Structure 1
Amino acid sequence: MQIPAEKWYPAIEKRRSRRQYNQEPIPEAIWRQLAVFIKDLNREISGARAVLVDEAPSSIFKGAIGPYGKVKGAPAYVAVIGDMREPMVQETVGYLGECIILEATAHDLATCWIGGFFRPKAVAGQIPLFGQERILAVSPLGYVSSDYTWEEKILSGFGNAFKRKSLDSLCTGLEPEKWPEWMKPALEAARQAPSAVNRQPWKFVLDENSVTIQIDEEAHNHDISKRLDCGIAMLHLEVGALHAGAEGYWEPLTGQAVAKYTVE
C-alpha cells in the first residue's frame, strides 16, 4: 500500500489516547472519506480488516477502561478484526488499525486503542464476522476539547501514559554514530507508538540498512498480545523512514523477532 507519510508523520506526534469526547457528530464528508479509506485498506491488507460503526460505543465497554477511566461521549467507533488462521494476525491487526488511527488523527479526530475491557459479543451484534474472525481491538472516534478533563488527567497520571523509553534502552547493534540518516527519525517514530498500558514491549536490533523489531519479554504482561503492539510500532517505524526519504520492505520473522525493515 502507498503510505501517505507526509500526512501521517505529524499525526504520530499529535496523536494521544483520549477517553472523554464532546458528543459532536463526525461531519458527513469526513465520515465518507474514512469509509472509503477503510474500504481500500481492507482490500490491500490481508489477514485483518476494520469496520467503521456509526453508533456510540458506550454499550460495548465494560465500565472503566483499565486504569484510564470510562470512554464517554464518542459518537462512533472502529472495530479491528483479525483472521485467526493467519500466522501474523496480531501484527497485521496492529499495523492496519494504526493506519486508521493516524488517518483519523490527520482529520483532527481523537482515538484510543482498546484491546481489552470491551464486550466482543456486543460488537459482533453490530457487525458481521466470517469464518475464524475475531474482534481484537476497537477505538472510539470523535472530537475532544484541547484540554484534558480532570478525570483524564488523574486517571492517566498527569501525562505518565505518554512517557516513552529512551532509544538507548531500546536499541542494540549498530552504534548511533554509524546510523544512516533515515534510522533515527524512524526509531523516534516507532518509540512513540501506543501500546497496552504503555508497556512498550519492543526492542530494536540495528544493522547498517535494517531495523529488526523484537518482543521485549520483560515488558509488562497483559491480556493483549505484545505482537499487536509491535504491529503498531512497525507502521510508525515505516512512516518515519519514509518521511526521511528511505523506502524499504518488511520481512516477517519467527520467535521473539517480529519483523525486519530493510532499506535498500
Structure 2
Amino acid sequence: MNSVNLYLKVAYGKIRNAPAYAAFIGEMDDRNVQEKAGRLGEFLILEATSLGLGTCWVGASFRPDAVRSQIELKSDEQVLAVSPLGFVKEQYSLEEKLMAGLVKSSKRKSLEELWLEKPIGPVPRWISTSLEAARLAPSAVNRQPWRFSVEDKSIKLSVDNVKDSYHISKRLDCGIAMAHVEIAAVHSGEAGIWEYLSNPGVARFKKV
C-alpha cells in the first residue's frame, strides 16, 4: 500500500516517511488467524529484506483507522499488524540510538530457556538447525513467547502462557517463529507440514 500517516512509533525508536507499507489482515473467525498472519507476514518481511528494503513488524503502535481508510475490510476482518517498507537511513539521531539500546535484537534467550520439554539425547540436525533459526526470530520487545518440544520427526511450538502482553498476540509472534522453523528445515533438505493446535499449543511441524 502507499504510505499513510500511521503514527508509527515502536519501542526501539521511530519510523518516519516510509513510502509504502504492508498490512497484515486476518479473518477473526479463524481461531488460528494470529499464527497464520505471523507466518505469512514473516515470509513477506524476509523477502523484502532480501531485496534490500528496510522493514519490521509493528503490531501495536500504529493507527488501525488510518489503514482502514485505505483498505475496505470485511465485517470479520481486522488489521493485526503492519510493516513499513522503505530504505534505512545511514545516520541516526541521538534519541534513536538511545532507544535502540533498550531492545537489542541480539539479546535472545538461550535454547535451554525455551524448552517446554527438553529432549532426551541428540536430535536430528534439521531439527536443531530449525530450532536455532526460530530462537533468533523477532518478537514483540524480544519477549520470545514460544516454547519448544521435539516429538517423533516433528517440532511442536507452544506459548509460554496464554495471557497476551503489549497489546500484541503471542500467537502472532509464534507464527513468526514458525516461518523460521520452516525455512531452516527446507534449507536442511527436509519438507514438512503444519498442524495447528489449541492453547497452549500453537502448531506442530511434521516431517513428510
TM-score of the two chains, using structure 1 as the length reference: 0.73
| Residue type of the alignment partner of 1:87 | R
Q: Give identity over the alignment, percent.
A: 47
Instruction: Report SS of the residue matched to 1:162.
Output: coil
For the 8 Å contact 2:59–2:82, the answer to whether it is kept is yes
> Structure 2 vs 1, CA of residues 219 and 128 (structure 1 numbering), >3 Å: closer, same or farther?
closer
Structure having the higher helix fraction is: 1
Partner of 1:223: 167
Instruction: Report SS of the residue matched to 2:167.
Output: coil
Q: Supply the RMSD in Å over aligned alpha carbons.
A: 2.0
Matches within 5 A, 1:62-101: 64-65=9-10, 67-101=11-45
Partner of 1:160: 104
TM-score of the two chains, using structure 2 as the length reference: 0.92
2:2 to 38, 54, 63: 54
- In the alignment, structure 1 segments of 5+ residues that lack a partner are 1-52
Partner of 1:124: 68
> Structure 2 vs 1, CA of residues 262 and 225 (structure 1 numbering), >3 Å: closer, same or farther?
same
Q: Distance in 2 between the 1:173 and 1:245 partners?
A: 24
- In the alignment, structure 2 segments of 5+ residues that lack a partner are none
| Residue type of the alignment partner of 1:216 | D
Displacement of 1:149 in angstroms is 5.0
| Residue type of the alignment partner of 1:193 | A
| Residue type of the alignment partner of 2:7 | F
User: What do residues 65-103 of structure 1 show as CA deviations (whole Å, max 9, x unaligned)?
Assistant: 2x3222113111111100011110111111111111011
**Structure 1 outlier segments of 4+, above 6 Å:** none
Matches within 5 A, 1:1-264: 53-55=1-3, 57=4, 59-61=5-7, 64-65=9-10, 67-145=11-89, 150-157=94-101, 160-171=104-115, 172-175=117-120, 177-217=121-161, 221-264=165-208
Q: Distance in 1 between the 2:163 and 2:81 partners?
A: 20
> Structure 2 vs 1, CA of residues 243 and 129 (structure 1 numbering), >3 Å: closer, same or farther?
same
> Structure 2 vs 1, CA of residues 184 and 153 (structure 1 numbering), >3 Å: closer, same or farther?
farther
For the 8 Å contact 2:162–2:199, the answer to whether it is kept is no
Q: Distance in 1 between the 2:164 and 2:199 partners?
A: 18
More displaced stretch, 165-174 vs 184-193: 165-174
User: What do residues 142-169 of structure 1 show as CA deviations (whole Å, max 9, x unaligned)?
Assistant: 1114566543331021662431111111
> Structure 2 vs 1, CA of residues 158 and 122 (structure 1 numbering), >3 Å: closer, same or farther?
closer
User: What do residues 204-249 of structure 1 show as CA deviations (whole Å, max 9, x unaligned)?
Assistant: 0112411100101299822100001001111111101111111111
Structure having the higher strand fraction is: 2
